[in-house]
Structure 1
Protein backbone atom coordinates (compact mmCIF):
# COMPACT_ATOMS: atom_id res chain seq x y z
CA UNK A 1 0.00 0.00 0.00
CA UNK A 2 1.32 3.49 -0.84
CA UNK A 3 2.09 5.78 2.08
CA UNK A 4 1.10 8.88 0.14
CA UNK A 5 -1.94 10.36 -1.53
CA UNK A 6 -1.36 9.79 -5.26
CA UNK A 7 -2.82 11.72 -8.18
CA UNK A 8 -3.05 10.82 -11.87
CA UNK A 9 -2.56 14.44 -12.96
CA UNK A 10 -0.44 17.23 -11.45
CA UNK A 11 -2.71 18.93 -8.89
CA UNK A 12 -0.57 22.08 -8.53
CA UNK A 13 -0.15 24.82 -11.18
CA UNK A 14 3.51 25.38 -12.06
CA UNK A 15 3.44 29.15 -11.20
CA UNK A 16 2.25 28.24 -7.71
CA UNK A 17 5.08 25.73 -7.41
CA UNK A 18 7.50 28.54 -8.31
CA UNK A 19 5.92 30.64 -5.55
CA UNK A 20 6.36 27.86 -3.00
CA UNK A 21 9.99 27.32 -4.05
CA UNK A 22 10.69 31.04 -3.78
CA UNK A 23 9.14 31.07 -0.31
CA UNK A 24 11.30 28.15 0.79
CA UNK A 25 14.54 29.73 -0.43
CA UNK A 26 13.83 33.33 0.59
CA UNK A 27 12.53 32.41 4.03
CA UNK A 28 15.55 30.19 4.67
CA UNK A 29 18.11 32.84 3.71
CA UNK A 30 16.06 35.76 4.98
CA UNK A 31 15.53 34.19 8.40
CA UNK A 32 19.16 34.80 9.36
CA UNK A 33 18.73 38.54 8.81
CA UNK A 34 15.53 38.96 10.83
CA UNK A 35 17.21 38.87 14.22
CA UNK A 36 19.89 41.40 15.08
CA UNK A 37 21.81 38.66 16.87
CA UNK A 38 21.98 36.63 13.64
CA UNK A 39 23.24 39.47 11.45
CA UNK A 40 26.90 40.27 11.07
CA UNK A 41 27.73 43.85 11.96
CA UNK A 42 29.08 46.27 9.34
CA UNK A 43 32.73 47.16 9.29
CA UNK A 44 33.09 50.57 10.88
CA UNK A 45 36.87 50.53 10.93
CA UNK A 46 39.41 51.58 8.33
CA UNK A 47 39.45 49.72 5.00
CA UNK A 48 41.89 46.83 4.86
CA UNK A 49 43.45 44.95 1.98
CA UNK A 50 41.74 41.81 0.66
CA UNK A 51 42.92 39.61 3.48
CA UNK A 52 41.60 38.64 6.87
CA UNK A 53 41.77 41.54 9.31
CA UNK A 54 41.55 41.78 13.06
CA UNK A 55 38.05 41.72 14.51
CA UNK A 56 36.87 44.80 16.39
CA UNK A 57 35.50 44.01 19.88
CA UNK A 58 32.02 45.34 19.03
CA UNK A 59 31.69 43.51 15.73
CA UNK A 60 29.68 40.35 15.08
CA UNK A 61 31.21 37.96 12.56
CA UNK A 62 29.77 34.88 10.91
CA UNK A 63 31.74 32.45 13.09
CA UNK A 64 30.96 34.10 16.41
CA UNK A 65 29.17 31.57 18.67
CA UNK A 66 26.30 33.97 19.35
CA UNK A 67 25.75 34.60 15.64
CA UNK A 68 25.88 30.88 14.89
CA UNK A 69 23.35 30.02 17.62
CA UNK A 70 20.94 32.70 16.43
CA UNK A 71 21.25 31.56 12.81
CA UNK A 72 20.77 27.89 13.62
CA UNK A 73 17.56 28.74 15.47
CA UNK A 74 16.40 30.93 12.58
CA UNK A 75 16.99 28.35 9.83
CA UNK A 76 15.47 25.59 11.96
CA UNK A 77 12.27 27.59 12.38
CA UNK A 78 12.29 28.44 8.66
CA UNK A 79 12.71 24.76 7.79
CA UNK A 80 9.80 23.85 10.04
CA UNK A 81 7.67 26.51 8.34
CA UNK A 82 8.52 25.09 4.90
CA UNK A 83 7.56 21.58 6.03
CA UNK A 84 4.27 22.90 7.42
CA UNK A 85 3.62 24.64 4.08
CA UNK A 86 4.05 21.32 2.26
CA UNK A 87 1.77 19.64 4.79
CA UNK A 88 -0.92 22.29 4.29
CA UNK A 89 -0.60 21.85 0.52
CA UNK A 90 -1.13 18.09 0.87
CA UNK A 91 -4.09 18.63 3.18
CA UNK A 92 -5.85 21.20 1.01
CA UNK A 93 -5.21 19.27 -2.18
CA UNK A 94 -6.56 16.12 -0.56
CA UNK A 95 -9.89 17.77 0.08
CA UNK A 96 -9.32 20.09 3.05
CA UNK A 97 -11.26 17.74 5.33
CA UNK A 98 -10.17 17.21 8.89
CA UNK A 99 -10.46 13.45 8.58
CA UNK A 100 -7.85 13.56 5.78
CA UNK A 101 -5.22 15.31 7.90
CA UNK A 102 -3.61 12.04 8.96
CA UNK A 103 -3.34 10.97 5.32
CA UNK A 104 -1.87 14.36 4.43
CA UNK A 105 0.71 14.02 7.21
CA UNK A 106 1.80 10.55 6.05
CA UNK A 107 1.90 11.77 2.45
CA UNK A 108 4.06 14.76 3.47
CA UNK A 109 6.50 12.57 5.39
CA UNK A 110 6.88 10.34 2.33
CA UNK A 111 7.22 13.20 -0.15
CA UNK A 112 9.87 14.84 2.02
CA UNK A 113 11.90 11.62 1.94
CA UNK A 114 11.51 10.86 5.64
CA UNK A 115 9.63 7.56 5.36
CA UNK A 116 12.60 5.23 4.81
CA UNK A 117 16.39 5.29 5.01
CA UNK A 118 18.31 3.14 2.47
CA UNK A 119 21.97 2.70 3.36
CA UNK A 120 23.60 1.52 0.11
CA UNK A 121 23.03 4.84 -1.75
CA UNK A 122 24.89 6.59 1.08
CA UNK A 123 28.10 4.92 -0.13
CA UNK A 124 28.02 6.47 -3.61
CA UNK A 125 29.57 9.78 -2.55
CA UNK A 126 32.39 8.27 -0.45
CA UNK A 127 33.23 6.09 -3.46
CA UNK A 128 33.64 9.23 -5.59
CA UNK A 129 36.15 10.43 -2.97
CA UNK A 130 38.26 7.29 -3.26
CA UNK A 131 41.28 9.35 -4.35
CA UNK A 132 41.20 11.83 -1.45
CA UNK A 133 40.42 9.01 1.00
CA UNK A 134 43.39 7.00 -0.26
CA UNK A 135 45.65 10.02 0.17
CA UNK A 136 44.40 10.51 3.73
CA UNK A 137 45.09 6.81 4.35
CA UNK A 138 48.65 7.13 3.07
CA UNK A 139 49.40 10.09 5.36
CA UNK A 140 47.67 8.40 8.31
CA UNK A 141 44.86 10.90 8.85
CA UNK A 142 41.84 8.60 8.65
CA UNK A 143 40.02 7.84 11.93
CA UNK A 144 42.09 5.74 14.35
CA UNK A 145 45.26 6.11 12.25
CA UNK A 146 48.50 7.48 13.68
CA UNK A 147 47.96 11.14 12.79
CA UNK A 148 44.24 11.22 13.63
CA UNK A 149 43.42 12.91 16.92
CA UNK A 150 40.07 12.98 18.71
CA UNK A 151 40.66 16.46 20.13
CA UNK A 152 41.83 18.00 16.85
CA UNK A 153 39.78 16.05 14.30
CA UNK A 154 36.56 14.92 16.00
CA UNK A 155 35.78 17.60 18.58
CA UNK A 156 35.67 20.46 16.03
CA UNK A 157 32.97 18.50 14.18
CA UNK A 158 30.66 17.56 17.05
CA UNK A 159 31.61 19.78 20.00
CA UNK A 160 31.78 23.33 18.58
CA UNK A 161 29.14 25.69 17.26
CA UNK A 162 30.93 25.88 13.91
CA UNK A 163 30.90 22.08 13.75
CA UNK A 164 27.19 21.91 14.51
CA UNK A 165 26.52 24.50 11.81
CA UNK A 166 28.76 23.05 9.11
CA UNK A 167 28.28 19.34 9.65
CA UNK A 168 24.90 18.83 11.32
CA UNK A 169 22.27 21.56 11.24
CA UNK A 170 23.12 23.18 7.89
CA UNK A 171 23.23 19.89 5.91
CA UNK A 172 20.04 18.66 7.58
CA UNK A 173 17.98 21.83 7.12
CA UNK A 174 19.31 22.63 3.64
CA UNK A 175 18.47 19.17 2.33
CA UNK A 176 14.99 19.25 3.86
CA UNK A 177 14.27 22.66 2.32
CA UNK A 178 16.12 22.61 -1.01
CA UNK A 179 15.63 18.93 -1.78
CA UNK A 180 12.63 17.64 0.15
CA UNK A 181 10.30 20.63 0.11
CA UNK A 182 11.34 22.13 -3.23
CA UNK A 183 11.28 18.89 -5.21
CA UNK A 184 8.01 17.87 -3.55
CA UNK A 185 6.14 20.92 -4.83
CA UNK A 186 7.71 20.78 -8.30
CA UNK A 187 6.87 17.09 -8.62
CA UNK A 188 3.35 17.98 -7.48
CA UNK A 189 3.25 20.47 -10.38
CA UNK A 190 4.34 17.88 -12.93
CA UNK A 191 7.83 19.21 -13.65
CA UNK A 192 9.94 16.69 -15.55
CA UNK A 193 12.67 14.68 -13.85
CA UNK A 194 15.38 16.37 -15.90
CA UNK A 195 14.26 19.86 -14.92
CA UNK A 196 13.88 18.89 -11.27
CA UNK A 197 17.42 17.49 -11.20
CA UNK A 198 19.18 20.24 -13.16
CA UNK A 199 17.13 23.39 -12.53
CA UNK A 200 15.91 23.26 -8.94
CA UNK A 201 19.46 23.03 -7.47
CA UNK A 202 20.18 26.48 -8.92
CA UNK A 203 18.11 27.93 -6.08
CA UNK A 204 20.35 26.04 -3.64
CA UNK A 205 23.41 27.59 -5.27
CA UNK A 206 21.87 31.06 -5.32
CA UNK A 207 21.02 30.77 -1.63
CA UNK A 208 24.75 30.96 -0.86
CA UNK A 209 25.28 34.24 -2.71
CA UNK A 210 24.60 36.28 0.43
CA UNK A 211 27.98 35.14 1.78
CA UNK A 212 29.55 37.62 -0.64
CA UNK A 213 28.51 40.53 1.58
CA UNK A 214 30.01 38.90 4.66
CA UNK A 215 33.29 38.24 2.85
CA UNK A 216 33.35 41.79 1.46
CA UNK A 217 32.76 43.21 4.95
CA UNK A 218 35.32 40.95 6.65
CA UNK A 219 38.05 41.91 4.18
CA UNK A 220 37.58 45.63 4.63
CA UNK A 221 34.96 46.75 2.04
CA UNK A 222 37.54 47.79 -0.53
CA UNK A 223 37.65 47.28 -4.30
CA UNK A 224 40.01 44.33 -3.88
CA UNK A 225 37.71 42.88 -1.22
CA UNK A 226 34.75 43.19 -3.61
CA UNK A 227 36.71 41.44 -6.36
CA UNK A 228 37.74 38.61 -4.06
CA UNK A 229 34.19 38.21 -2.71
CA UNK A 230 32.76 38.11 -6.25
CA UNK A 231 35.21 35.47 -7.48
CA UNK A 232 34.72 33.38 -4.36
CA UNK A 233 30.93 33.59 -4.62
CA UNK A 234 30.87 32.63 -8.30
CA UNK A 235 33.03 29.60 -7.56
CA UNK A 236 30.77 28.68 -4.66
CA UNK A 237 27.69 29.11 -6.86
CA UNK A 238 29.19 26.71 -9.41
CA UNK A 239 30.12 23.88 -7.06
CA UNK A 240 27.01 24.16 -4.87
CA UNK A 241 24.85 23.89 -8.00
CA UNK A 242 26.82 20.84 -9.19
CA UNK A 243 26.48 19.31 -5.76
CA UNK A 244 22.76 20.09 -5.91
CA UNK A 245 22.41 18.08 -9.14
CA UNK A 246 24.02 15.14 -7.35
CA UNK A 247 21.77 15.35 -4.29
CA UNK A 248 18.62 15.94 -6.34
CA UNK A 249 19.27 12.73 -8.28
CA UNK A 250 19.96 10.80 -5.06
CA UNK A 251 16.75 12.08 -3.49
CA UNK A 252 14.53 11.44 -6.49
CA UNK A 253 16.05 8.08 -7.28
CA UNK A 254 15.75 6.75 -3.72
CA UNK A 255 12.81 8.76 -2.41
CA UNK A 256 14.82 9.31 0.76
CA UNK A 257 16.64 12.30 2.21
CA UNK A 258 19.20 10.17 4.02
CA UNK A 259 21.58 9.69 1.03
CA UNK A 260 21.47 13.42 0.26
CA UNK A 261 22.02 14.42 3.89
CA UNK A 262 24.85 11.95 4.40
CA UNK A 263 26.47 13.13 1.15
CA UNK A 264 26.17 16.74 2.29
CA UNK A 265 27.80 16.00 5.64
CA UNK A 266 30.54 13.90 4.06
CA UNK A 267 31.40 16.55 1.45
CA UNK A 268 31.44 19.32 4.06
CA UNK A 269 33.93 17.30 6.10
CA UNK A 270 36.13 16.35 3.14
CA UNK A 271 35.96 19.62 1.19
CA UNK A 272 36.68 19.81 -2.52
CA UNK A 273 39.07 17.13 -3.85
CA UNK A 274 42.60 18.57 -4.01
CA UNK A 275 44.14 16.38 -6.70
CA UNK A 276 47.00 18.76 -7.53
CA UNK A 277 48.05 19.20 -3.92
CA UNK A 278 47.88 15.45 -3.27
CA UNK A 279 50.12 14.67 -6.26
CA UNK A 280 52.63 17.36 -5.26
CA UNK A 281 52.86 16.04 -1.71
CA UNK A 282 52.95 12.35 -2.62
CA UNK A 283 53.79 11.80 -6.29
CA UNK A 284 52.39 8.34 -6.99
CA UNK A 285 50.53 6.63 -9.80
CA UNK A 286 48.46 4.87 -7.12
CA UNK A 287 46.85 8.16 -6.09
CA UNK A 288 46.03 8.94 -9.73
CA UNK A 289 44.56 5.45 -10.09
CA UNK A 290 42.50 5.89 -6.93
CA UNK A 291 41.03 9.13 -8.31
CA UNK A 292 40.19 7.42 -11.62
CA UNK A 293 38.66 4.38 -9.90
CA UNK A 294 36.58 6.68 -7.73
CA UNK A 295 35.11 8.44 -10.75
CA UNK A 296 34.48 5.17 -12.61
CA UNK A 297 32.95 3.61 -9.50
CA UNK A 298 30.71 6.63 -8.98
CA UNK A 299 29.38 6.45 -12.54
CA UNK A 300 28.86 2.70 -12.29
CA UNK A 301 27.13 2.64 -8.90
CA UNK A 302 25.07 5.84 -9.14
CA UNK A 303 22.37 4.06 -11.11
CA UNK A 304 22.74 0.59 -9.62
CA UNK A 305 23.07 1.38 -5.93
CA UNK A 306 20.26 3.96 -5.93
CA UNK A 307 17.65 1.80 -7.64
CA UNK A 308 14.57 1.40 -5.47
CA UNK A 309 10.91 0.57 -5.90
CA UNK A 310 9.76 2.85 -3.10
CA UNK A 311 10.47 6.27 -4.63
CA UNK A 312 7.41 8.28 -5.60
CA UNK A 313 9.67 10.45 -7.75
CA UNK A 314 10.83 7.55 -9.93
CA UNK A 315 7.72 5.38 -10.13
CA UNK A 316 5.37 5.14 -13.10
CA UNK A 317 2.02 3.47 -13.61
CA UNK A 318 2.31 2.11 -17.13
CA UNK A 319 3.67 5.03 -19.14
CA UNK A 320 2.23 7.71 -16.86
CA UNK A 321 4.00 9.22 -13.85
CA UNK A 322 2.22 9.28 -10.50
CA UNK A 323 1.98 12.54 -8.56
Structure 2
Protein backbone atom coordinates (compact mmCIF):
# COMPACT_ATOMS: atom_id res chain seq x y z
CA UNK A 1 0.00 0.00 0.00
CA UNK A 2 1.43 3.42 -0.93
CA UNK A 3 2.25 5.80 1.92
CA UNK A 4 2.90 9.51 2.37
CA UNK A 5 6.56 10.24 3.05
CA UNK A 6 7.58 12.56 5.86
CA UNK A 7 8.92 15.28 3.56
CA UNK A 8 5.79 15.22 1.41
CA UNK A 9 3.54 15.42 4.47
CA UNK A 10 5.36 18.46 5.83
CA UNK A 11 5.45 20.05 2.38
CA UNK A 12 1.67 19.64 2.13
CA UNK A 13 1.21 21.15 5.62
CA UNK A 14 3.33 24.13 4.63
CA UNK A 15 1.11 24.43 1.58
CA UNK A 16 -2.01 24.47 3.79
CA UNK A 17 -0.49 27.29 5.84
CA UNK A 18 0.47 29.33 2.78
CA UNK A 19 -2.93 28.84 1.16
CA UNK A 20 -4.74 29.98 4.30
CA UNK A 21 -2.58 33.11 4.73
CA UNK A 22 -2.29 33.91 1.03
CA UNK A 23 -6.05 34.24 0.78
CA UNK A 24 -5.93 37.34 2.98
CA UNK A 25 -3.78 39.03 0.33
CA UNK A 26 -5.39 37.54 -2.78
CA UNK A 27 -8.84 38.72 -1.66
CA UNK A 28 -7.47 41.83 0.01
CA UNK A 29 -9.40 45.07 -0.28
CA UNK A 30 -8.60 48.47 1.30
CA UNK A 31 -9.94 49.18 4.77
CA UNK A 32 -9.78 48.26 8.43
CA UNK A 33 -9.99 44.57 9.38
CA UNK A 34 -13.36 45.28 11.03
CA UNK A 35 -14.90 46.96 8.00
CA UNK A 36 -17.74 44.79 6.61
CA UNK A 37 -16.26 44.46 3.08
CA UNK A 38 -12.89 43.42 4.55
CA UNK A 39 -14.52 40.86 6.85
CA UNK A 40 -16.52 39.38 3.97
CA UNK A 41 -13.42 39.19 1.79
CA UNK A 42 -11.45 37.39 4.52
CA UNK A 43 -14.30 35.01 5.25
CA UNK A 44 -14.39 34.18 1.55
CA UNK A 45 -10.62 33.62 1.56
CA UNK A 46 -10.58 31.18 4.50
CA UNK A 47 -13.60 29.32 3.13
CA UNK A 48 -11.81 28.77 -0.18
CA UNK A 49 -8.67 27.70 1.70
CA UNK A 50 -10.69 25.17 3.69
CA UNK A 51 -12.21 23.61 0.57
CA UNK A 52 -8.82 23.46 -1.16
CA UNK A 53 -7.22 21.83 1.90
CA UNK A 54 -10.07 19.31 2.19
CA UNK A 55 -9.68 18.44 -1.51
CA UNK A 56 -5.95 17.79 -1.03
CA UNK A 57 -6.63 15.51 1.94
CA UNK A 58 -9.30 13.64 -0.03
CA UNK A 59 -6.90 13.17 -2.96
CA UNK A 60 -4.08 11.89 -0.72
CA UNK A 61 -6.40 9.49 1.10
CA UNK A 62 -7.55 8.10 -2.24
CA UNK A 63 -4.02 7.95 -3.63
CA UNK A 64 -2.63 5.86 -0.77
CA UNK A 65 -5.78 3.74 -0.55
CA UNK A 66 -6.17 4.47 3.17
CA UNK A 67 -8.46 2.30 5.25
CA UNK A 68 -10.38 5.31 6.58
CA UNK A 69 -12.35 7.76 4.48
CA UNK A 70 -11.38 11.41 4.14
CA UNK A 71 -14.37 12.37 6.29
CA UNK A 72 -13.17 10.07 9.06
CA UNK A 73 -9.57 11.31 9.13
CA UNK A 74 -10.90 14.88 9.19
CA UNK A 75 -13.02 14.15 12.25
CA UNK A 76 -16.32 14.70 10.50
CA UNK A 77 -17.99 11.34 11.11
CA UNK A 78 -18.15 11.30 14.91
CA UNK A 79 -21.69 12.03 16.16
CA UNK A 80 -22.14 15.15 18.26
CA UNK A 81 -22.44 13.28 21.56
CA UNK A 82 -21.46 14.03 25.16
CA UNK A 83 -17.80 13.16 24.52
CA UNK A 84 -17.66 16.10 22.10
CA UNK A 85 -19.15 18.53 24.63
CA UNK A 86 -17.19 17.55 27.74
CA UNK A 87 -14.01 19.32 26.55
CA UNK A 88 -16.03 22.54 26.32
CA UNK A 89 -16.92 22.17 30.01
CA UNK A 90 -13.24 21.57 30.76
CA UNK A 91 -12.36 24.81 28.95
CA UNK A 92 -15.03 26.70 30.88
CA UNK A 93 -13.47 25.44 34.12
CA UNK A 94 -10.07 26.79 33.03
CA UNK A 95 -11.65 30.25 32.72
CA UNK A 96 -13.03 30.18 36.27
CA UNK A 97 -11.08 33.33 37.13
CA UNK A 98 -12.41 35.51 34.29
CA UNK A 99 -15.89 34.08 34.85
CA UNK A 100 -15.76 35.14 38.50
CA UNK A 101 -14.97 38.68 37.35
CA UNK A 102 -17.99 38.60 35.06
CA UNK A 103 -20.09 37.27 37.95
CA UNK A 104 -19.24 40.22 40.20
CA UNK A 105 -19.83 42.60 37.28
CA UNK A 106 -23.27 41.01 36.74
CA UNK A 107 -22.34 40.13 33.15
CA UNK A 108 -23.09 36.40 33.12
CA UNK A 109 -26.28 35.09 31.43
CA UNK A 110 -29.44 35.92 33.40
CA UNK A 111 -27.63 38.57 35.45
CA UNK A 112 -28.56 42.24 35.51
CA UNK A 113 -26.00 43.58 33.03
CA UNK A 114 -26.40 40.73 30.54
CA UNK A 115 -28.66 41.24 27.53
CA UNK A 116 -29.46 38.38 25.18
CA UNK A 117 -30.35 40.89 22.47
CA UNK A 118 -27.11 42.82 22.82
CA UNK A 119 -24.62 40.20 23.97
CA UNK A 120 -25.88 37.19 22.00
CA UNK A 121 -28.15 38.09 19.13
CA UNK A 122 -26.52 41.34 17.97
CA UNK A 123 -22.98 40.20 18.72
CA UNK A 124 -23.21 36.71 17.28
CA UNK A 125 -25.20 37.72 14.21
CA UNK A 126 -22.93 40.66 13.39
CA UNK A 127 -20.18 40.16 10.82
CA UNK A 128 -17.53 40.60 13.50
CA UNK A 129 -19.26 38.02 15.67
CA UNK A 130 -19.61 35.54 12.81
CA UNK A 131 -15.93 35.99 11.99
CA UNK A 132 -14.66 35.66 15.58
CA UNK A 133 -16.98 32.98 16.92
CA UNK A 134 -17.99 30.91 13.89
CA UNK A 135 -15.90 31.24 10.74
CA UNK A 136 -12.45 31.71 12.30
CA UNK A 137 -12.73 28.83 14.81
CA UNK A 138 -14.30 26.50 12.24
CA UNK A 139 -11.88 27.15 9.37
CA UNK A 140 -8.75 27.42 11.52
CA UNK A 141 -9.46 24.19 13.35
CA UNK A 142 -10.42 22.45 10.13
CA UNK A 143 -7.25 23.45 8.25
CA UNK A 144 -4.66 23.64 11.05
CA UNK A 145 -6.01 20.81 13.15
CA UNK A 146 -7.98 18.33 11.05
CA UNK A 147 -6.22 18.64 7.68
CA UNK A 148 -2.68 18.93 9.00
CA UNK A 149 -3.03 16.14 11.57
CA UNK A 150 -4.73 13.91 8.97
CA UNK A 151 -1.78 14.30 6.58
CA UNK A 152 0.93 13.91 9.25
CA UNK A 153 -0.82 10.87 10.66
CA UNK A 154 -0.80 9.19 7.23
CA UNK A 155 2.98 9.72 7.27
CA UNK A 156 3.02 7.71 10.54
CA UNK A 157 4.14 10.48 12.86
CA UNK A 158 3.73 9.75 16.57
CA UNK A 159 0.92 11.12 18.72
CA UNK A 160 3.42 13.37 20.53
CA UNK A 161 4.50 14.83 17.20
CA UNK A 162 0.89 15.43 16.17
CA UNK A 163 0.11 17.12 19.50
CA UNK A 164 3.22 19.23 20.09
CA UNK A 165 4.75 19.88 16.66
CA UNK A 166 1.78 20.19 14.31
CA UNK A 167 0.45 23.34 16.11
CA UNK A 168 3.59 25.20 15.03
CA UNK A 169 1.99 25.59 11.62
CA UNK A 170 -0.93 27.32 13.34
CA UNK A 171 1.44 29.63 15.22
CA UNK A 172 3.49 30.43 12.11
CA UNK A 173 0.33 31.33 10.21
CA UNK A 174 -0.24 34.19 12.66
CA UNK A 175 3.22 35.72 12.17
CA UNK A 176 2.04 37.56 9.07
CA UNK A 177 0.27 39.96 11.46
CA UNK A 178 3.74 41.37 12.27
CA UNK A 179 3.97 42.93 8.79
CA UNK A 180 0.47 44.42 9.06
CA UNK A 181 1.19 45.87 12.49
CA UNK A 182 4.57 47.20 11.35
CA UNK A 183 2.95 49.05 8.44
CA UNK A 184 0.09 50.39 10.58
CA UNK A 185 2.44 51.71 13.28
CA UNK A 186 4.52 53.78 10.87
CA UNK A 187 7.33 51.45 9.76
CA UNK A 188 9.73 52.81 12.41
CA UNK A 189 12.23 50.93 14.54
CA UNK A 190 9.87 51.13 17.50
CA UNK A 191 7.01 49.91 15.31
CA UNK A 192 9.15 46.93 14.28
CA UNK A 193 9.91 46.06 17.91
CA UNK A 194 6.26 46.34 18.94
CA UNK A 195 5.08 44.33 15.93
CA UNK A 196 7.60 41.54 16.60
CA UNK A 197 6.78 41.41 20.32
CA UNK A 198 3.04 41.28 19.60
CA UNK A 199 3.44 38.54 16.99
CA UNK A 200 5.79 36.45 19.15
CA UNK A 201 3.33 36.70 22.05
CA UNK A 202 0.53 35.65 19.72
CA UNK A 203 2.69 32.82 18.39
CA UNK A 204 3.26 31.61 21.97
CA UNK A 205 -0.36 31.47 23.08
CA UNK A 206 -1.68 30.14 19.76
CA UNK A 207 0.87 27.33 20.03
CA UNK A 208 -0.19 26.61 23.62
CA UNK A 209 -3.81 26.48 22.56
CA UNK A 210 -2.76 24.38 19.57
CA UNK A 211 -1.32 21.73 21.89
CA UNK A 212 -4.63 21.55 23.73
CA UNK A 213 -6.79 21.56 20.60
CA UNK A 214 -4.60 18.96 18.89
CA UNK A 215 -4.86 16.69 21.92
CA UNK A 216 -8.66 17.04 21.89
CA UNK A 217 -8.85 16.27 18.18
CA UNK A 218 -6.67 13.18 18.49
CA UNK A 219 -8.21 11.98 21.74
CA UNK A 220 -11.86 12.36 20.71
CA UNK A 221 -11.38 11.91 16.97
CA UNK A 222 -13.80 14.74 16.19
CA UNK A 223 -13.41 18.23 14.79
CA UNK A 224 -16.10 19.69 17.06
CA UNK A 225 -14.35 19.75 20.46
CA UNK A 226 -11.49 22.01 19.27
CA UNK A 227 -13.97 24.19 17.32
CA UNK A 228 -16.25 24.70 20.33
CA UNK A 229 -13.31 25.36 22.66
CA UNK A 230 -11.71 27.75 20.16
CA UNK A 231 -14.95 29.69 19.84
CA UNK A 232 -15.37 29.90 23.63
CA UNK A 233 -11.79 31.14 24.04
CA UNK A 234 -12.47 33.85 21.45
CA UNK A 235 -15.58 34.89 23.41
CA UNK A 236 -13.61 35.14 26.65
CA UNK A 237 -10.47 36.71 25.25
CA UNK A 238 -7.06 36.58 26.93
CA UNK A 239 -7.42 36.49 30.75
CA UNK A 240 -6.75 39.82 32.47
CA UNK A 241 -5.41 39.73 36.03
CA UNK A 242 -5.52 43.50 36.43
CA UNK A 243 -8.31 46.02 36.78
CA UNK A 244 -9.62 44.75 40.11
CA UNK A 245 -8.31 47.53 42.36
CA UNK A 246 -11.77 49.02 42.87
CA UNK A 247 -13.23 45.82 44.27
CA UNK A 248 -13.77 44.88 47.88
CA UNK A 249 -11.25 42.70 49.70
CA UNK A 250 -13.62 39.74 49.65
CA UNK A 251 -14.17 40.02 45.90
CA UNK A 252 -10.43 40.29 45.28
CA UNK A 253 -9.76 37.19 47.37
CA UNK A 254 -12.41 35.21 45.51
CA UNK A 255 -11.28 36.40 42.06
CA UNK A 256 -7.58 35.84 42.64
CA UNK A 257 -8.40 32.47 44.20
CA UNK A 258 -10.51 31.42 41.21
CA UNK A 259 -7.63 31.86 38.74
CA UNK A 260 -5.39 29.13 40.27
CA UNK A 261 -8.45 27.09 41.29
CA UNK A 262 -9.54 26.97 37.66
CA UNK A 263 -6.13 25.61 36.65
CA UNK A 264 -6.19 23.00 39.45
CA UNK A 265 -9.70 21.84 38.51
CA UNK A 266 -8.72 21.82 34.84
CA UNK A 267 -5.78 19.50 35.53
CA UNK A 268 -7.81 17.34 37.94
CA UNK A 269 -10.66 16.80 35.45
CA UNK A 270 -8.51 16.65 32.32
CA UNK A 271 -8.66 12.88 31.94
CA UNK A 272 -12.35 12.47 32.73
CA UNK A 273 -13.54 15.27 30.45
CA UNK A 274 -11.42 14.26 27.46
CA UNK A 275 -12.51 10.63 27.27
CA UNK A 276 -12.73 9.32 23.69
CA UNK A 277 -16.14 8.26 22.41
CA UNK A 278 -17.34 4.75 23.09
CA UNK A 279 -16.37 1.89 20.83
CA UNK A 280 -20.01 1.69 19.75
CA UNK A 281 -19.68 5.22 18.40
CA UNK A 282 -16.58 4.30 16.46
CA UNK A 283 -13.94 5.44 18.94
CA UNK A 284 -11.09 7.68 17.87
CA UNK A 285 -8.97 6.43 14.98
CA UNK A 286 -6.07 8.50 16.29
CA UNK A 287 -6.17 7.18 19.86
CA UNK A 288 -5.02 3.60 19.51
Q: Is the 8 A contact 1:208 1:237 kept in 2?
A: yes
How far does residue 303 in structure 1 lie from its aligned partner after superposition?
1.7
| 1:136-175 aligned within 5 A | 136-155=102-121, 157-175=123-141
How far does residue 137 in structure 1 lie from its aligned partner after superposition?
1.0
Other-structure match for 1:100: none
Other-structure match for 1:72: 43
The two structures have a TM-score, normalised by structure 2, of 0.90
How far does residue 153 in structure 1 lie from its aligned partner after superposition?
2.2
1:298 to 232, 246, 266: 266
Other-structure match for 2:12: 20
CA distance in 2, matches of 1:270, 1:278: 17
Other-structure match for 1:289: 257
Structure 2 residues not aligned, in runs of 5+: none
For 1:176-210, what per-residue CA distance to the aligned partner results, in whole angstroms no more than 9, with x for missing partners? Answer: 00000000111111111111111111110110111
How far does residue 81 in structure 1 lie from its aligned partner after superposition?
0.8
The number of equivalent residue pairs is 277
How far does residue 65 in structure 1 lie from its aligned partner after superposition?
1.1
CA distance in 1, matches of 2:116, 2:89: 24
How far does residue 241 in structure 1 lie from its aligned partner after superposition?
0.7
Q: Is the 8 A contact 2:94 2:265 kept in 1?
A: yes
| 1:203-222 aligned within 5 A | 203-222=169-188
CA distance in 2, matches of 1:94, 1:123: 37
Q: Is the 8 A contact 1:127 1:294 kept in 2?
A: yes
Structure 1 residues not aligned, in runs of 5+: 1-6, 42-59, 96-102, 316-323
| 1:14-93 aligned within 5 A | 14-35=6-27, 38-39=28-29, 41=30, 60-93=31-64
Specify whether residues 299 and 109 from structure 1 end up closer, same or farther in structure 2 by C-alpha distance, changes over 3 A only.
same
For 1:143-202, what per-residue CA distance to the aligned partner results, in whole angstroms no more than 9, with x for missing partners? Answer: 221111345422453222221111110110000000000001111111111111111111
The two structures have a TM-score, normalised by structure 1, of 0.81
CA distance in 2, matches of 1:195, 1:91: 24
CA distance in 2, matches of 1:286, 1:172: 34
Between Structure 1 and Structure 2, which shows a larger proportion of helix residues? Answer: 2
1:114 paired with 2:76, answer yes
1:311 paired with 2:284, answer yes
CA distance in 2, matches of 1:268, 1:180: 19
CA distance in 2, matches of 1:161, 1:305: 32
For 1:19-73, what per-residue CA distance to the aligned partner results, in whole angstroms no more than 9, with x for missing partners? Answer: 11011111011111113xx24x5xxxxxxxxxxxxxxxxxx22222111101101
Specify whether residues 281 and 244 from structure 1 end up closer, same or farther in structure 2 by C-alpha distance, changes over 3 A only.
farther
RMSD: 2.0
